[in-house]
Amino acid sequence: MAPVRLPADSELPLLRTRVSDLADRALVVGDPGRAARVAELLDDARQLTANREYHVYSGQYRGVPVTVASHGVGAAGAAVCFEELARGGVSRIIRSGTAGGIQPEVVDGAIVVATGAVRADGISHQLVPTEFPAIATPELTIALRAAAAETGLKTHTGIVLTGDMFYPSDVITGIDHAMWQRAGIVAVEMEAAALFVIAALHGIESGAVFAIDGNPLNAADEAMDGYDPYREIVTQAVDGSLKCALDVLVS
Ligand SMILES: O=P(O)(O)O[C@H]1O[C@H](CO)[C@@H](O)[C@H]1O
Ligand SMILES: O=c1cc[nH]c(=O)[nH]1
């Protein structure tokens, strides 16, 4: 079955955006509030739609048309956003999000560029078997790493872990962060694997850059009791990673 491409005059069922209003390049973020803040950085920005967790804007960045869309928390809902953008003809998608550090040196305020993602999410296995790797487009990864280095913030590059569990249950811990630390995983988040897999299946480009908002193992806080992503040090890294994502999106 060839990847679906929708006609320009159709509307994406859940993003509720007309295909003809989409730019060729899209920045995706989890938080609708962050999408609104990114829209303020664009010229001629206009909000196309706000349906469920999906808030969609189009505008121009450095003279290049771009779309910004929020996808919410979790790979299954985010996959709807990524799939509809691809069906609508978007050919480059970059995710800019927050993530927790897994290696001891990956701490608050740093930027992480993902080379690929561990597929510990629930949706990507239903799209293609586990043996299929979740990898970012190498050219975008290299460009994101160079852009991150320019921010002056501490940056790391490597494989991230995409999981569905943010808060562990008190019955059993669902993700063995220490094991993934031993395997060299840099950071943990919840949507990148779905993006990389869906983009690969559609034959389009994808990349991801993250602001680190904590380190559950360093803090001995796998229960995430002390989680606070709204501190100034995290906001600076979020702004830095958004700028990297936009610069590479239009490069
Ligand atoms: O900051 P965003 O892009 O939402 O990304 C991260 O933050 C959320 C959890 O707080 C998850 O969506 C995770 O992937
Ligand atoms: O999934 C996530 C996102 C941000 N920070 C974390 O620790 N985990």
pLDDT digits (tens, 9 = 90+) for 112-159: 999 999 999 999 999 999 999 999 999 999 999 999 999 999 999 999
Asked whether residue 171 carries a pLDDT value surpassing 90, the answer given is no
Cα distance between residue 10 and residue 20, in whole Å: 8
The full set of domain ranges for the chain reads 19-249
Regarding an ipTM greater than 0.85, the answer is yes
* Cβ of 97 less than 6 Å from ligand 1: yes
Q: Which of 213, 225, 239, 247 is catalytic?
A: 213
Neighbours of 91 (CB within 10 A): 15
Can you tell me the distance from the alpha carbon of 196 to that of 209, in angstroms, rounded to the nearest whole number?
A: 13
**pLDDT, tens only, 59-89:** 999 999 999 999 999 999 999 999 999 999 9
Q: What's domain 19-249's architecture?
A: 3-Layer(aba) Sandwich (3.40)
With 0.90 as the threshold, say if the pTM is over it. yes
| Per-residue pLDDT tens over the stretch 20-73 | 999 999 999 999 999 999 999 999 999 999 999 999 999 999 999 999 999 999
Confidence of residue 16 (pLDDT cuts 50, 70, 90): very high
Active site residue 239: no
Report whether 30 contacts 71 (CB < 8 A): yes
224 vs 191, which has greater pLDDT? 191
How many C-beta atoms surround the C-beta of residue 138 within 10 A?
11
- Give residue 174's pLDDT: 81
- Answer yes or no: is the C-beta of 75 below 6 A from any ligand 2 atom: no
Q: Is 188 in the pocket of ligand 2 (CB under 6 A)?
A: yes
